[in-house]
Copies of this chain bind each other. A is one copy, B any other.
Amino acid sequence: MMNKKKRPTLQDIADRVGVTKMTISRFLKDPSQVSAVMQEKIAVVVEELGYIPNRAPDLLSRAKSNAIGVLVPSLTNQVFSEVIRGIESVTEAAGYQTMLAHYGYSNKVEEQRISYLLSYSIDGLILSESQHTERTLKMIHTAGIPVIEMMDITSPAIEQAVGFDNVDAAYRMVSTMIKKGYRHIVYFGARMDVRTKLKQKGYAKAMQEHGLVANTVFTEAASSFTLGAALLQETLAKHPKTDGIFCTNDDLAIGAIFECQRLGISIPKQIGIAGFHGLDAGQIMQPNLASVITPREKIGRVSAEQLLSRIKGEPIEDKIIDLGFNIHQGESI
């Protein structure tokens, strides 16, 4: 076993300077709390020993850690990188550390990750789901820290939700497609997590209202461009009359468009395709991708703001904060 070198402690510094560690502690927190002479002496030794702070004792003896936990389903998913950017813009400014974890869309893994984050005495938690295991709910309750659920607002499980209405967003996009004349619209899903299912609900509702038949093509795999292409193939085989496709995200939509182009299927003439989230890639491509534009960074920012305000002890003002979405028609429908 490699034994970590014994790192210098406050006591080590104190011994060299000839004071007690309390003085060093004060200096590190705010140098002006110590006399000018001391400041110099201590600074030299701190530098010399290369002191590295140790958070453990602080976590042990005090309630606040000045850190929050953030759980996202996946790091590969660009949607969440933007959410994270929003969160950190707020936490950094407020001097909070952000402990990031991902759970691969699994409730069980989410539970483990939350347990791990809580073991570091975080002051608050931002989740990306609104469905959790029993034990997760119990842990959160026991920890007694504020929690925000991000992204979807249709059925928050805990205290406060920030995001938009996935069902309505899907409903509106599909309605737009129907209004444009599409009749055989298929829904592309991947991984079938909660949000994918909510969008399916909105899709089904729109189809039903117009007396149209709802068809879903999906896979359990994580979505990707390649997968969009594969789902298109499957769709052409299973539902040859398809004239429209609504995808749970832009990755699938872009993959499907590429595949159409490869097969010589004209977009939007023969098939109209719409995605979800309005990522950069879809906006730059030819044809410009129709998509539901979601306020990802803002969701992160508002979530963090709400969380910090609650950590400060302020009460919940709005249990549900709806940040809305926009339908972008682009050129692909």
Contact = CB atoms under 8 A, between A and B. Distances in A.
B313 A119 contact: no
A146 interface: yes
A96 to B, nearest CB: 11
A143 to B, nearest CB: 6
Contacts of A120: 55-56, 120
Contacts of A312: 1-2
A99 B6 CA distance: 21
A310 B3 CA distance: 11
Contact of A2 (B54, B78, B313): B313
Contact of A262 (B6, B50, B286): B286
A225 B310 contact: no
Interface string A1-28: 1111111100000000000000000000
Contact of A119 (B55, B64, B84, B138): B55
Interface stretch (A162-170, A205-213, A235-243, A276-284): A276-284
A4 B143 CA distance: 7
Copies in the complex: 2
Contacts of A1: 312-313
A75 B55 CA distance: 25
Contact of A121 (B3, B56, B226): B56
B2 A311 contact: yes
B261 A52 contact: no
Given A75-B75, A226-B280, A52 B118 contact: yes
Contacts of A63: 3-4
Nearest to A255: B284
Contact of A116 (B3, B97, B139, B224): B97
Given A50-B142, A76-B78, A284 B5 contact: no
Given A97-B116, A225-B284, A5 B142 contact: yes
A142 B313 contact: no
A26 to B, nearest CB: 18
Contacts of A194: none
A225 B78 CA distance: 13
Interface in A280-298: 280-281, 283-286
A22 B141 CA distance: 26
Contacts of A258: 284-286
A94 interface: no
A100 interface: yes
Contacts of A146: 2
Contacts of A226: 280, 283-284
Interface of A: 1-8, 49-57, 59-60, 62-64, 75-76, 78, 81-82, 84-85, 97, 99-101, 115-116, 118-121, 123, 135, 138-139, 141-146, 224-226, 229, 254-255, 258-259, 261-262, 280-281, 283-286, 310-313
Given A56-B59, A225-B284, A254-B281, 10 more contacts: A1-B313, A2-B312, A4-B121, A4-B143, A50-B141, A55-B119, A59-B59, A224-B280, A226-B280, A261-B286
Instruction: Across the A-B interface, give the 5 residue pairs with the lowest CB-CB distance, nearest first.
Output: A5-B144, A50-B142, A56-B59, A56-B60, A2-B313
